[in-house]
Protein backbone atom coordinates (compact mmCIF):
# COMPACT_ATOMS: atom_id res chain seq x y z
CA UNK A 1 0.00 0.00 0.00
CA UNK A 2 1.09 3.53 -0.80
CA UNK A 3 1.17 5.27 2.61
CA UNK A 4 2.55 8.59 1.38
CA UNK A 5 -0.65 10.54 2.21
CA UNK A 6 -0.44 9.37 5.84
CA UNK A 7 3.28 10.17 6.07
CA UNK A 8 3.34 13.53 4.30
CA UNK A 9 -0.09 15.17 4.74
CA UNK A 10 -0.72 16.01 8.40
CA UNK A 11 -4.38 17.02 8.23
CA UNK A 12 -5.28 13.95 6.20
CA UNK A 13 -3.41 11.83 8.77
CA UNK A 14 -5.38 13.35 11.66
CA UNK A 15 -8.71 12.89 9.86
CA UNK A 16 -7.77 9.31 9.00
CA UNK A 17 -6.75 8.40 12.55
CA UNK A 18 -9.87 9.91 14.08
CA UNK A 19 -12.10 8.07 11.64
CA UNK A 20 -10.22 4.83 12.28
CA UNK A 21 -11.21 4.88 15.96
CA UNK A 22 -14.75 6.22 15.63
CA UNK A 23 -15.36 3.96 12.63
CA UNK A 24 -14.76 0.93 14.85
CA UNK A 25 -17.61 1.97 17.11
CA UNK A 26 -19.82 2.80 14.16
CA UNK A 27 -19.33 -0.68 12.73
CA UNK A 28 -20.32 -2.18 16.08
CA UNK A 29 -23.62 -0.29 15.88
CA UNK A 30 -24.17 -1.27 12.24
CA UNK A 31 -23.89 -4.94 13.23
CA UNK A 32 -25.71 -4.71 16.58
CA UNK A 33 -28.83 -2.95 15.28
CA UNK A 34 -30.09 -5.72 12.91
CA UNK A 35 -29.25 -8.33 15.55
CA UNK A 36 -31.37 -6.48 18.12
CA UNK A 37 -34.29 -6.33 15.70
CA UNK A 38 -33.98 -10.06 14.96
CA UNK A 39 -34.02 -10.85 18.66
CA UNK A 40 -37.12 -8.68 19.17
CA UNK A 41 -39.07 -9.85 16.10
CA UNK A 42 -37.44 -13.05 14.72
CA UNK A 43 -38.20 -11.75 11.23
CA UNK A 44 -35.85 -10.79 8.40
CA UNK A 45 -38.62 -8.53 7.13
CA UNK A 46 -38.10 -6.28 10.15
CA UNK A 47 -34.47 -5.87 9.05
CA UNK A 48 -35.61 -5.23 5.48
CA UNK A 49 -37.95 -2.54 6.86
CA UNK A 50 -34.99 -1.04 8.73
CA UNK A 51 -33.17 -0.75 5.41
CA UNK A 52 -36.13 1.09 3.88
CA UNK A 53 -36.44 3.37 6.91
CA UNK A 54 -32.77 4.29 6.51
CA UNK A 55 -33.14 4.70 2.75
CA UNK A 56 -35.74 7.48 3.00
CA UNK A 57 -33.49 10.07 4.75
CA UNK A 58 -30.59 9.05 2.52
CA UNK A 59 -32.70 9.93 -0.52
CA UNK A 60 -33.91 13.17 1.08
CA UNK A 61 -30.71 14.50 2.63
CA UNK A 62 -27.83 13.21 0.49
CA UNK A 63 -28.15 15.68 -2.36
CA UNK A 64 -28.79 18.61 -0.04
CA UNK A 65 -25.90 17.53 2.16
CA UNK A 66 -23.53 17.70 -0.79
CA UNK A 67 -24.73 21.21 -1.65
CA UNK A 68 -24.14 22.31 1.94
CA UNK A 69 -20.68 20.70 1.94
CA UNK A 70 -19.72 22.76 -1.12
CA UNK A 71 -20.90 26.00 0.47
CA UNK A 72 -19.52 25.83 4.04
CA UNK A 73 -16.36 24.90 5.93
CA UNK A 74 -16.27 21.11 5.60
CA UNK A 75 -14.33 20.67 8.83
CA UNK A 76 -16.99 22.54 10.82
CA UNK A 77 -19.78 20.58 9.18
CA UNK A 78 -18.05 17.29 10.04
CA UNK A 79 -17.84 18.32 13.71
CA UNK A 80 -21.61 18.85 13.74
CA UNK A 81 -22.43 15.59 11.98
CA UNK A 82 -20.12 13.52 14.19
CA UNK A 83 -21.67 15.00 17.34
CA UNK A 84 -25.17 14.19 16.09
CA UNK A 85 -24.20 10.62 15.18
CA UNK A 86 -22.78 10.15 18.68
CA UNK A 87 -26.10 11.37 20.11
CA UNK A 88 -28.05 8.89 17.98
CA UNK A 89 -25.93 6.00 19.25
CA UNK A 90 -26.52 7.20 22.81
CA UNK A 91 -30.28 7.05 22.18
CA UNK A 92 -29.94 3.48 20.88
CA UNK A 93 -28.01 2.50 24.00
CA UNK A 94 -30.71 3.98 26.25
CA UNK A 95 -33.44 2.14 24.33
CA UNK A 96 -31.52 -1.15 24.45
CA UNK A 97 -31.23 -0.98 28.25
CA UNK A 98 -35.03 -1.22 28.46
CA UNK A 99 -36.52 -4.72 28.90
CA UNK A 100 -38.82 -4.34 25.86
CA UNK A 101 -37.76 -1.34 23.78
CA UNK A 102 -40.42 -0.05 21.36
CA UNK A 103 -39.60 -1.06 17.80
CA UNK A 104 -40.90 2.23 16.40
CA UNK A 105 -38.42 4.20 18.53
CA UNK A 106 -35.51 2.16 17.17
CA UNK A 107 -36.67 2.93 13.63
CA UNK A 108 -36.95 6.65 14.45
CA UNK A 109 -33.37 6.82 15.75
CA UNK A 110 -32.14 4.83 12.74
CA UNK A 111 -33.98 7.29 10.47
CA UNK A 112 -32.30 10.30 12.09
CA UNK A 113 -28.84 8.69 12.09
CA UNK A 114 -29.16 7.78 8.40
CA UNK A 115 -30.07 11.38 7.59
CA UNK A 116 -27.06 12.75 9.44
CA UNK A 117 -24.81 10.14 7.84
CA UNK A 118 -26.11 11.20 4.43
CA UNK A 119 -24.59 14.63 5.08
CA UNK A 120 -21.44 13.35 6.81
CA UNK A 121 -20.29 10.96 4.08
CA UNK A 122 -20.14 13.32 1.06
CA UNK A 123 -18.59 16.00 3.26
CA UNK A 124 -15.83 13.65 4.36
CA UNK A 125 -15.11 12.17 0.92
CA UNK A 126 -15.09 15.56 -0.81
CA UNK A 127 -12.63 16.87 1.79
CA UNK A 128 -9.92 14.35 0.86
CA UNK A 129 -8.79 16.07 -2.38
CA UNK A 130 -8.39 19.29 -0.36
CA UNK A 131 -6.04 17.61 2.12
CA UNK A 132 -3.63 15.91 -0.31
CA UNK A 133 -2.07 16.84 -3.68
CA UNK A 134 -3.83 15.57 -6.80
CA UNK A 135 -1.21 12.91 -7.51
CA UNK A 136 -1.81 11.35 -4.07
CA UNK A 137 -5.63 11.31 -4.27
CA UNK A 138 -5.92 7.63 -5.40
CA UNK A 139 -3.51 6.59 -2.65
CA UNK A 140 -5.42 8.64 -0.07
CA UNK A 141 -8.69 7.01 -1.12
CA UNK A 142 -7.06 3.56 -0.84
CA UNK A 143 -5.64 4.37 2.61
CA UNK A 144 -9.07 5.60 3.66
CA UNK A 145 -10.53 2.32 2.50
CA UNK A 146 -7.85 0.45 4.44
CA UNK A 147 -9.01 2.07 7.67
CA UNK A 148 -12.63 1.45 6.72
CA UNK A 149 -12.04 -2.22 6.09
CA UNK A 150 -9.88 -2.60 9.19
CA UNK A 151 -12.74 -1.44 11.38
CA UNK A 152 -15.20 -3.42 9.26
CA UNK A 153 -13.26 -6.55 10.27
CA UNK A 154 -12.73 -5.64 13.91
CA UNK A 155 -16.18 -4.05 14.36
CA UNK A 156 -18.35 -7.14 13.69
CA UNK A 157 -16.04 -9.33 15.77
CA UNK A 158 -16.17 -6.80 18.62
CA UNK A 159 -19.93 -6.53 18.21
CA UNK A 160 -20.34 -10.30 18.41
CA UNK A 161 -18.25 -10.46 21.57
CA UNK A 162 -19.92 -7.45 23.20
CA UNK A 163 -23.40 -8.78 22.42
CA UNK A 164 -22.54 -12.28 23.67
CA UNK A 165 -20.97 -11.00 26.91
CA UNK A 166 -22.90 -7.83 27.79
CA UNK A 167 -25.77 -7.37 25.33
CA UNK A 168 -26.53 -4.91 22.55
CA UNK A 169 -26.77 -1.91 24.90
CA UNK A 170 -23.06 -2.19 25.67
CA UNK A 171 -22.32 -2.33 21.95
CA UNK A 172 -24.13 0.96 21.37
CA UNK A 173 -22.44 2.58 24.38
CA UNK A 174 -19.04 1.56 22.98
CA UNK A 175 -19.89 3.40 19.77
CA UNK A 176 -20.67 6.59 21.70
CA UNK A 177 -17.28 6.52 23.42
CA UNK A 178 -15.30 6.10 20.17
CA UNK A 179 -16.77 9.27 18.63
CA UNK A 180 -14.48 11.30 20.91
CA UNK A 181 -11.47 10.38 18.75
CA UNK A 182 -13.08 11.73 15.58
CA UNK A 183 -14.14 14.98 17.26
CA UNK A 184 -10.67 15.58 18.70
CA UNK A 185 -9.02 14.93 15.33
CA UNK A 186 -11.38 17.36 13.59
CA UNK A 187 -10.58 20.04 16.14
CA UNK A 188 -6.86 19.62 15.45
CA UNK A 189 -6.93 20.05 11.66
CA UNK A 190 -7.08 23.31 9.71
CA UNK A 191 -10.39 24.68 8.39
CA UNK A 192 -11.52 23.50 4.94
CA UNK A 193 -13.28 26.60 3.58
CA UNK A 194 -15.49 26.43 0.48
CA UNK A 195 -14.04 26.97 -2.98
CA UNK A 196 -14.25 30.60 -4.23
CA UNK A 197 -16.59 29.46 -7.01
CA UNK A 198 -18.91 27.60 -4.61
CA UNK A 199 -22.58 28.60 -4.65
CA UNK A 200 -25.08 28.84 -1.81
CA UNK A 201 -27.02 25.63 -1.16
CA UNK A 202 -30.29 25.69 -3.07
CA UNK A 203 -32.42 23.58 -5.36
CA UNK A 204 -30.62 25.22 -8.24
CA UNK A 205 -27.20 24.19 -6.92
CA UNK A 206 -28.43 20.64 -6.34
CA UNK A 207 -29.75 20.55 -9.90
CA UNK A 208 -26.34 21.74 -11.12
CA UNK A 209 -24.70 18.75 -9.47
CA UNK A 210 -27.24 16.38 -11.02
CA UNK A 211 -26.70 17.90 -14.48
CA UNK A 212 -22.94 17.54 -14.12
CA UNK A 213 -23.21 13.86 -13.15
CA UNK A 214 -25.67 13.16 -15.95
CA UNK A 215 -23.41 14.88 -18.47
CA UNK A 216 -20.28 12.94 -17.42
CA UNK A 217 -21.08 9.47 -18.67
CA UNK A 218 -18.04 7.91 -17.01
CA UNK A 219 -19.26 9.19 -13.63
CA UNK A 220 -22.78 7.98 -14.39
CA UNK A 221 -21.39 4.58 -15.33
CA UNK A 222 -19.71 4.17 -11.94
CA UNK A 223 -23.03 4.87 -10.23
CA UNK A 224 -24.89 2.37 -12.41
CA UNK A 225 -22.43 -0.46 -11.92
CA UNK A 226 -22.37 -0.03 -8.14
CA UNK A 227 -26.16 0.09 -7.87
CA UNK A 228 -26.36 -3.15 -9.82
CA UNK A 229 -23.90 -4.91 -7.51
CA UNK A 230 -25.49 -3.66 -4.29
CA UNK A 231 -29.16 -4.12 -5.15
CA UNK A 232 -28.81 -7.70 -6.38
CA UNK A 233 -25.69 -8.95 -4.61
CA UNK A 234 -25.94 -7.49 -1.09
CA UNK A 235 -27.39 -10.07 1.36
CA UNK A 236 -26.56 -8.26 4.63
CA UNK A 237 -30.16 -8.32 5.86
CA UNK A 238 -30.04 -12.13 5.82
CA UNK A 239 -26.97 -12.48 8.04
CA UNK A 240 -28.85 -12.87 11.36
CA UNK A 241 -31.16 -15.50 9.84
CA UNK A 242 -28.28 -17.33 8.16
CA UNK A 243 -26.16 -17.34 11.31
CA UNK A 244 -28.92 -18.44 13.68
CA UNK A 245 -31.01 -20.81 11.52
CA UNK A 246 -28.82 -22.04 8.63
CA UNK A 247 -25.25 -22.18 9.95
CA UNK A 248 -26.39 -22.43 13.62
CA UNK A 249 -23.37 -20.44 14.82
CA UNK A 250 -25.04 -17.96 17.22
CA UNK A 251 -23.94 -14.38 17.85
CA UNK A 252 -20.25 -15.17 17.37
CA UNK A 253 -20.92 -16.69 13.94
CA UNK A 254 -23.07 -13.69 13.06
CA UNK A 255 -20.09 -11.47 13.83
CA UNK A 256 -17.85 -13.61 11.62
CA UNK A 257 -20.30 -13.49 8.71
CA UNK A 258 -20.23 -9.70 8.87
CA UNK A 259 -16.46 -9.58 9.36
CA UNK A 260 -15.53 -11.93 6.49
CA UNK A 261 -16.20 -9.50 3.61
CA UNK A 262 -14.37 -6.78 5.49
CA UNK A 263 -11.40 -9.09 6.08
CA UNK A 264 -11.17 -9.74 2.34
CA UNK A 265 -11.47 -6.02 1.70
CA UNK A 266 -8.76 -5.33 4.27
CA UNK A 267 -6.38 -7.66 2.47
CA UNK A 268 -7.34 -6.08 -0.83
CA UNK A 269 -6.77 -2.57 0.54
CA UNK A 270 -3.44 -3.57 2.08
CA UNK A 271 -2.17 -4.64 -1.35
CA UNK A 272 -3.78 -1.77 -3.26
CA UNK A 273 -0.60 0.19 -4.00
CA UNK A 274 -0.93 -0.81 -7.67
CA UNK A 275 -4.35 0.88 -7.96
CA UNK A 276 -2.89 4.36 -8.42
CA UNK A 277 -1.04 3.15 -11.52
CA UNK A 278 -4.05 1.62 -13.28
CA UNK A 279 -4.41 3.38 -16.63
CA UNK A 280 -7.90 2.10 -17.39
CA UNK A 281 -9.75 1.95 -14.07
CA UNK A 282 -13.09 1.23 -15.74
CA UNK A 283 -11.87 -2.22 -16.81
CA UNK A 284 -10.74 -2.89 -13.26
CA UNK A 285 -14.20 -1.96 -11.95
CA UNK A 286 -15.91 -4.34 -14.37
CA UNK A 287 -13.64 -7.26 -13.43
CA UNK A 288 -14.02 -6.53 -9.70
CA UNK A 289 -17.83 -6.43 -9.87
CA UNK A 290 -17.82 -9.72 -11.82
CA UNK A 291 -15.72 -11.26 -9.03
CA UNK A 292 -18.18 -9.92 -6.46
CA UNK A 293 -21.19 -11.51 -8.19
CA UNK A 294 -19.50 -14.90 -8.56
CA UNK A 295 -18.40 -14.92 -4.91
CA UNK A 296 -21.87 -14.02 -3.59
CA UNK A 297 -23.51 -16.77 -5.65
CA UNK A 298 -20.90 -19.26 -4.40
CA UNK A 299 -21.54 -18.17 -0.81
CA UNK A 300 -25.21 -19.05 -1.21
CA UNK A 301 -24.34 -22.47 -2.65
CA UNK A 302 -21.91 -23.40 0.13
CA UNK A 303 -24.13 -23.13 3.21
CA UNK A 304 -23.15 -26.69 4.17
CA UNK A 305 -19.63 -25.47 4.99
CA UNK A 306 -19.27 -22.43 7.23
CA UNK A 307 -15.50 -22.00 6.58
CA UNK A 308 -15.94 -22.13 2.79
CA UNK A 309 -18.86 -19.72 3.01
CA UNK A 310 -16.67 -17.29 4.97
CA UNK A 311 -13.95 -17.66 2.33
CA UNK A 312 -16.41 -16.71 -0.42
CA UNK A 313 -17.48 -13.63 1.53
CA UNK A 314 -13.84 -12.66 2.03
CA UNK A 315 -13.20 -12.94 -1.72
CA UNK A 316 -16.28 -10.78 -2.37
CA UNK A 317 -14.95 -8.17 0.02
CA UNK A 318 -11.58 -8.09 -1.74
CA UNK A 319 -13.27 -7.58 -5.09
CA UNK A 320 -15.48 -4.86 -3.61
CA UNK A 321 -12.60 -2.79 -2.27
CA UNK A 322 -10.86 -2.79 -5.65
CA UNK A 323 -14.07 -1.68 -7.31
CA UNK A 324 -14.71 0.97 -4.67
CA UNK A 325 -11.24 2.55 -4.80
CA UNK A 326 -11.22 2.64 -8.61
CA UNK A 327 -14.75 4.07 -8.77
CA UNK A 328 -14.00 6.70 -6.13
CA UNK A 329 -10.84 7.82 -7.92
CA UNK A 330 -12.78 8.15 -11.20
CA UNK A 331 -15.46 10.28 -9.55
CA UNK A 332 -13.10 12.49 -7.53
CA UNK A 333 -10.62 13.16 -10.34
CA UNK A 334 -13.30 13.76 -12.97
CA UNK A 335 -15.06 16.38 -10.82
CA UNK A 336 -13.97 20.02 -10.19
CA UNK A 337 -13.64 21.02 -6.54
CA UNK A 338 -16.40 23.66 -6.57
CA UNK A 339 -18.96 20.96 -7.35
CA UNK A 340 -17.25 17.95 -5.79
CA UNK A 341 -19.41 17.93 -2.65
CA UNK A 342 -22.61 17.69 -4.69
CA UNK A 343 -21.24 14.94 -6.93
CA UNK A 344 -19.89 13.17 -3.85
CA UNK A 345 -23.38 13.37 -2.37
CA UNK A 346 -24.78 11.58 -5.43
CA UNK A 347 -22.05 8.98 -5.02
CA UNK A 348 -22.94 8.73 -1.32
CA UNK A 349 -26.58 8.28 -2.26
CA UNK A 350 -25.58 5.37 -4.49
CA UNK A 351 -23.09 3.83 -2.05
CA UNK A 352 -25.39 4.01 0.98
CA UNK A 353 -28.77 3.73 -0.73
CA UNK A 354 -27.87 0.76 -2.92
CA UNK A 355 -27.15 -1.60 0.00
CA UNK A 356 -30.45 -0.58 1.66
CA UNK A 357 -32.33 -1.49 -1.49
CA UNK A 358 -30.30 -4.69 -1.59
CA UNK A 359 -31.25 -5.50 1.99
CA UNK A 360 -34.92 -5.00 1.18
CA UNK A 361 -34.66 -7.08 -2.00
CA UNK A 362 -32.81 -9.92 -0.24
CA UNK A 363 -35.26 -9.97 2.67
CA UNK A 364 -38.28 -9.98 0.36
CA UNK A 365 -36.98 -12.84 -1.77
CA UNK A 366 -35.96 -14.79 1.35
CA UNK A 367 -39.47 -14.44 2.79
CA UNK A 368 -40.85 -16.07 -0.37
CA UNK A 369 -38.18 -18.59 -1.40
CA UNK A 370 -35.78 -18.90 1.54
CA UNK A 371 -32.45 -17.21 2.37
CA UNK A 372 -30.23 -19.53 0.32
CA UNK A 373 -32.20 -18.94 -2.89
CA UNK A 374 -32.16 -15.21 -2.20
CA UNK A 375 -28.37 -15.13 -1.97
CA UNK A 376 -27.70 -17.30 -5.04
CA UNK A 377 -30.24 -15.53 -7.26
CA UNK A 378 -28.81 -12.16 -6.17
CA UNK A 379 -25.31 -13.13 -7.28
CA UNK A 380 -26.57 -14.37 -10.65
CA UNK A 381 -28.66 -11.24 -11.24
CA UNK A 382 -25.61 -9.12 -10.38
CA UNK A 383 -23.68 -10.75 -13.25
CA UNK A 384 -26.56 -10.32 -15.67
CA UNK A 385 -26.91 -6.68 -14.67
CA UNK A 386 -23.16 -6.15 -15.14
CA UNK A 387 -23.45 -7.19 -18.79
CA UNK A 388 -26.32 -4.72 -19.23
CA UNK A 389 -24.31 -1.85 -17.69
CA UNK A 390 -21.28 -2.52 -19.91
CA UNK A 391 -23.55 -2.61 -22.95
CA UNK A 392 -25.14 0.70 -21.93
CA UNK A 393 -21.81 2.39 -21.08
CA UNK A 394 -19.16 0.93 -23.43
CA UNK A 395 -16.85 3.88 -22.63
CA UNK A 396 -16.32 2.37 -19.17
CA UNK A 397 -13.94 -0.22 -20.63
CA UNK A 398 -11.99 2.40 -22.60
CA UNK A 399 -11.76 5.18 -19.99
CA UNK A 400 -8.28 6.38 -18.96
CA UNK A 401 -7.46 8.85 -16.17
CA UNK A 402 -7.00 12.28 -17.67
CA UNK A 403 -8.85 11.46 -20.88
CA UNK A 404 -11.75 13.68 -22.00
CA UNK A 405 -15.15 12.39 -20.96
CA UNK A 406 -17.14 10.87 -23.86
How does pLDDT run across 108-162, given as a tens digit for each residue? 999 999 999 888 888 888 888 889 887 788 788 878 877 877 887 788 888 888 8
Indicate the pLDDT class of residue 38, thresholds 50, 70 and 90: confident
Q: Is residue 151 part of a domain?
A: yes
Strands (E), 111-238: none
Task: Tell me if 213 is assigned to some domain.
Answer: yes
406 falls within a domain = no
Which pLDDT does position 275 carry in this prediction? 62
> What whole-number distance in Å separates Cα of residue 86 and Cα of residue 11?
22
Residue 89 is assigned to a structural domain of this protein? yes
Query: pLDDT tens digit string along 81-91?
Result: 999 999 999 99
Q: Residue 84 belongs to what domain range?
A: 4-398
SS (H, E, C) the chain: CCCHHHHHCHHHHHHHHHHHHHHHHHHHHHHHHHHHHHHHHCCHHHHHHHHHHHHHHHHHHHHHHHHHHHHCCHHHHHHHHHHHHHHHHHHHHHHHCCCCCCHHHHHHHHHHHHHHHHHHHHHHHHHHHHHCCHHHHHHHHHHHHHHHHHHHHHHHHHHHHHHHHHCHHHHHHHHHHHHHHHHHHHHHCCCCCCCCCCCCCCHHHHHHHHHHHHHCHHHHHHHHHHHHHHHHHCCHHHHHHHHHHHCCCHHHHHHHHHHHHHHHHHHHHHCHHHHHHCCCHHHHHHHHHHHHHHHHHHHHHCCCCHHHHHHHHHHHHHHHHHHHHHHHHHHHHCCCHHHHHHHHHHHHHHHHHHHHHHHHHHHHHHHHHCHHHHHHHHHHHHHHHHHHHHHHCCHHHHCCCCCCCC
Is residue 403 a part of any domain in this protein? no
pLDDT at 200 over 80: no
Confirm whether 74 is domain-assigned. Answer: yes
Out of 221-235, 289-303, 320-334, 385-399, pick the least confident: 320-334
Within-domain flag for 143? yes
CB atoms within 10 A of CB 43: 15
Per-residue buried b or exposed e for 244-260, using 16+ beta carbons within 10 Å of the residue's own CB: bebbebebebbbbbbbb
Asked whether residue 405 is domain-assigned, the answer is no
Mean pLDDT throughout 299-307? Answer: 90
**Residue 341 and residue 73: Cα distance in Å, rounded?**
11
- Say which range, 103-117, 151-165, 288-302, has the weakest mean pLDDT: 151-165
Count of domains forming the chain = 1
**In this structure, what CATH number is given to the domain that contains residue 326?**
1.20.1250.20
| Sign, CA torsion 7/9/15/19 | negative
CA dihedral 388→390→391→395, nearest 10 degrees, is 150
Alpha-carbon distance of 83 to 180, in angstroms, equals 9
> What pLDDT, on the 0 to 100 scale, is given for residue 271?
73
CA–centroid distance for 45 within its chain: 21
pLDDT grade, residue 106 (50/70/90)?
very high
C-alpha 359/C-alpha 352 separation (Å) is 11
Amino acid sequence: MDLEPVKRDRDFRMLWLGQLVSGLGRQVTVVALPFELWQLTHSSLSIGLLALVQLVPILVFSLGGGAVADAVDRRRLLIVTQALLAASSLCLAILAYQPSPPIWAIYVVAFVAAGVGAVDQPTRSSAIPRLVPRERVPAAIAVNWLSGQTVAVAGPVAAGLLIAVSGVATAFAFDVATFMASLIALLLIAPIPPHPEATRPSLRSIAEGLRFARGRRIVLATFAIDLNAMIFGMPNSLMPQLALTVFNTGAAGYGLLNAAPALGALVGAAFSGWVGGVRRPGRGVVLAVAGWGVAIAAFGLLTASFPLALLCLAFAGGADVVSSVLRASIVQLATPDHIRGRVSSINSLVVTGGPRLGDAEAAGVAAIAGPQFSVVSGGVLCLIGLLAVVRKFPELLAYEHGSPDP
